[in-house]
């Protein structure tokens, strides 16, 4: 009969592999478990993450693209307003000189 491991134990073991980048074999050896068992836990977690939707990195990339588009639009608007302000300032000078 196999040993039972708590969710917390599994979560921490998987985090050592996925978040800290430690090799599965080393983590498994340090924790006294089979590396095949840890590999299965890691795969399950990766499948859960993929099923949960886009990763944080993908969300950040999407948000960055949105902000870049908005920044470009705002710069164009600013440039148009500068030109308009310069035009009206010049027009006012011409009208006040006359």
CA nearest 24: which of 73, 85, 16, 50?
16
Q: Furthest-apart CA pair in the chain: how many Å?
A: 101
Hey, is 12 helix, strand or coil? helix
pLDDT of residue 63: 95
Residue partners of 38: CB distance under 8 A and separation at least 6: 13, 14, 17, 24, 27, 28, 31
> Which domains are assigned to the chain?
1-53 (1.10.10)
pLDDT at 73: 97
Rounded Cα gap, residues 16 and 38, in angstroms: 11
For residue 98, the model assigns a pLDDT of 58
| SS3 state of residue 80 | helix
Check: CB of residue 14 under 8 Å from CB of residue 45.
yes
pLDDT score, position 19: 93
Is the pTM of the predicted complex or chain greater than 0.75? no
pLDDT 10s per residue in the chain (98 long)?
578 999 999 999 999 999 999 999 999 999 999 999 999 999 999 988 877 777 778 889 999 999 999 999 999 999 999 999 999 999 888 887 75
Q: What is the pLDDT of residue 1?
A: 59
């Amino acid at each position: 009969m196999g040993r039972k491991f708590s969710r917390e134990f599994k979560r921490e073991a998987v985090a050592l592999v996925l978040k800290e980048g430690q090799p599965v074999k080393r983590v498994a050896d340090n924790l006294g478990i089979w590396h095949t068992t840890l590999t299965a836990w890691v795969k399950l977690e990766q499948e859960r993450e993929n099923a949960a939707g886009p990763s944080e990195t993908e969300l950040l990339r999407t948000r960055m693209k949105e902000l870049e588009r908005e920044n470009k639009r705002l710069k164009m608007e600013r440039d148009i307003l500068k030109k308009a302000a310069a035009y009206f300032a010049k027009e006012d000078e011409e009208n006040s000189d006359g």
